Amino acid sequence: MNIIAKALAATVFLAGSAGVHAETLRMWGPEQITEPLIAELWNGIKADFEAANPGVVVEFIPPTGTISNGAVQAALQSDVGPDVVLTNSGIGRITVVKNAKQIIPLTVYYESRGWKDKIYPWLYDELKGQYGGEIYEVPDGLDALGIWYHKDMFAEHDWNIPATWKEFVVLMKAIQDKGIQPLAVGPRTPGSAGHLFGNLLQSASGTLNVGKALRGELAWDDPAIAVGAVRLRELVDAGLIKKEMAGLDLDGASRLWFNKRAAMFVAGPWFTANARKAGYDLNNAGYLPMPSDISGEAKPTGGVGWSWLIPTNSKQPELALKWIDFMLSDGIMKKRAQHAASTMLYPRELKDIQPSTPVLKEIFAAAVTGVGYNPSVYLPADVVDTYFQVIQGLISAQVSGGDGMKQIQSKMAVVR
């Protein structure tokens, strides 16, 4: 009887102490956690973190969306949401949750926890310049959007990689003559519309002008920046980008490319995950930046693609900070960069790593000198919707390049 009583008391004590000490860190993300390869990587990271922090349990919340479609805001608003968030970012998106006071500023931790030294200096400067010195995100990965193509298709038809815009248009015509869609795009997914358009702006106007337009120093209907929109409409009018593409989303456009009914597709390193899921042979994927007639401006577009955020109503802010420390550590970052599930550029230079696929190696090489702007993630939230709708309008031939850019400019003027 005495033994039973002692055992019972011990059980109650253990249960009680577990209740006191067990801490759960609820994390929004990562995307596609239900994919076996991604789950393998993240469950490994989770196990490492839990081992390093006894009594802590990490719980993944599979994302139902992003800031762009309001899913993150809704989760945070619920007050039973995540303690730390990993989501698609960029100033346009972060501003939405920052203005709603749904996330806390992290500026002090960049100094006190040494995060400043764990990201590219240019990246830190960029973040510092966004909200008058206050930083609300910790970059997890960068995007590098460029043109994906089928190596075997190009070899079979003897198509060469274009060096200028004129050569690019000639190539598109040659592809069309073979009965293949030159370029697939899925503008029903706003991001996908922005990937192509950002590449066109970069190619036609260069990083400097796109940056000026984003900062409001150059009007969007100025010919120096509007030329990218004019080019898109010209491609549509020439049938080189089918108007019907306006009815496709990212999955639909990807399907067109994976099935080789389209020769090219604008995407970032994350497309490796989509390709793997579709059973596409990643060794056959080639990558090139959109050709430009401006010297040195044929480069990928991107910027901060994914970031860590800490919600204002996080129940475990200290643990969230520890988690971010952990994710920025050398061991974890290298582990991720070399894992087959790796789908992005990392926020600092990682030496002696071997990307898991040849196309990732090409993307890393193309982005080594930096990337241009992807306006989708830099435009203010109130403008970005107009921006996406204008791109849809251009692809469905409802609006001219000049008029479309005027609409973006008028929205920018209101916001500023």
Partner 1 sequence: MRVQALENIAGGAAETSPPRKWGLLPASHANVGTAFWLMAPAIAVYGTFTLVPIAVTFLLSFTNSAGFNTAADFVGVENYRKAMQDPIVWQALWQTVIWLIYHVVLAGGLGLALALAIARLRRSQVFFRTAFFLPHLVSLAVVGVIWANIYDPFFGLLNTGLVEIGLGSWTQGWLSDPSLVLFSVNVASSWQGFGLYMLLFIAGLQDIDPALYDAAEVDGANGWQKLIHVTLPGLREVMTFVMSLAMINGLKGFATVFVMTNGGPFYQSELITTYIYRLAFQSQQHGLAAVLCILLSLFAITITVAFNRWRARMAR
List interacting residues with partner 1 (CB under 8 A).
68-70, 73-74, 77, 96-97, 99-102, 181, 187-188, 190, 242-249, 252, 255-256, 259, 261, 312, 381-382, 385, 388-390, 392-393, 395-396, 398-399
What is the smallest separation between the CB atom of 6 and partner 1, expressed in angstroms?
49
Distance of alpha carbon 25 from alpha carbon 171, whole angstroms: 51
Q: Is the Cβ of residue 148 or residue 388 nearer to partner 1 in the bound state? A: 388
Q: Is the Cβ of residue 23 or residue 382 nearer to partner 1 in the bound state? A: 382
Q: Is the Cβ of residue 61 or residue 180 nearer to partner 1 in the bound state? A: 180
Q: Is the Cβ of residue 211 or residue 247 nearer to partner 1 in the bound state? A: 247
Classify 59 as helix, strand or coil.
strand
Among positive and negative, which fits the CA dihedral 144, 147, 150, 154?
A: negative
The angle that helices 223-237 and 190-215 make with each other, rounded to 10 degrees, is: 160
Q: Going by DSSP bridges, is the β-strand pair 372-373/301-309 parallel, antiparallel, or unpaired?
A: parallel
Distance of alpha carbon 80 from alpha carbon 40, whole angstroms: 27
Q: Is the Cβ of residue 172 or residue 399 nearer to partner 1 in the bound state? A: 399
Q: Is the Cβ of residue 102 or residue 292 nearer to partner 1 in the bound state? A: 102
Q: Return the structure tokens found at 349.
A: 């230079």
Mark residue 132 as left, alpha or beta (left: phi above 0; alpha: psi -120 to 50; beta: remaining).
Answer: left
What is the smallest separation between the CB atom of 383 and partner 1, expressed in angstroms?
10
What is the smallest separation between the CB atom of 235 and partner 1, expressed in angstroms?
15
What is the smallest separation between the CB atom of 56 and partner 1, expressed in angstroms?
27
What is the smallest separation between the CB atom of 141 and partner 1, expressed in angstroms?
23
Distance of alpha carbon 247 from alpha carbon 307, whole angstroms: 30
What is the smallest separation between the CB atom of 316 and partner 1, expressed in angstroms?
18
C-alpha distances in Å from residue 104, one per residue of 84, 135, 136 = 11, 9, 6
Q: Name 88's bridge partners.
A: 306
Q: Is the Cβ of residue 156 or residue 244 nearer to partner 1 in the bound state? A: 244
Secondary structure letter of residue 305 according to DSSP = E
What is the smallest separation between the CB atom of 150 and partner 1, expressed in angstroms?
17
Buried b (16+ CB within 10 A) or exposed e, 129-162: ebeeeebbbbbbbbbbbbbbbbeebbeeeebeeb
Q: Could you tell me if 199 and 301 are in contact, meaning their C-beta atoms sit under 8 angstroms apart?
A: yes
Q: Is the Cβ of residue 64 or residue 160 nearer to partner 1 in the bound state? A: 64
Q: Return the structure tokens found at 25.
A: 């860190």
Measured in whole angstroms, the distance separating CA 259 from the mean position of its chain's CA atoms is: 24
What is the smallest separation between the CB atom of 168 and partner 1, expressed in angstroms?
23
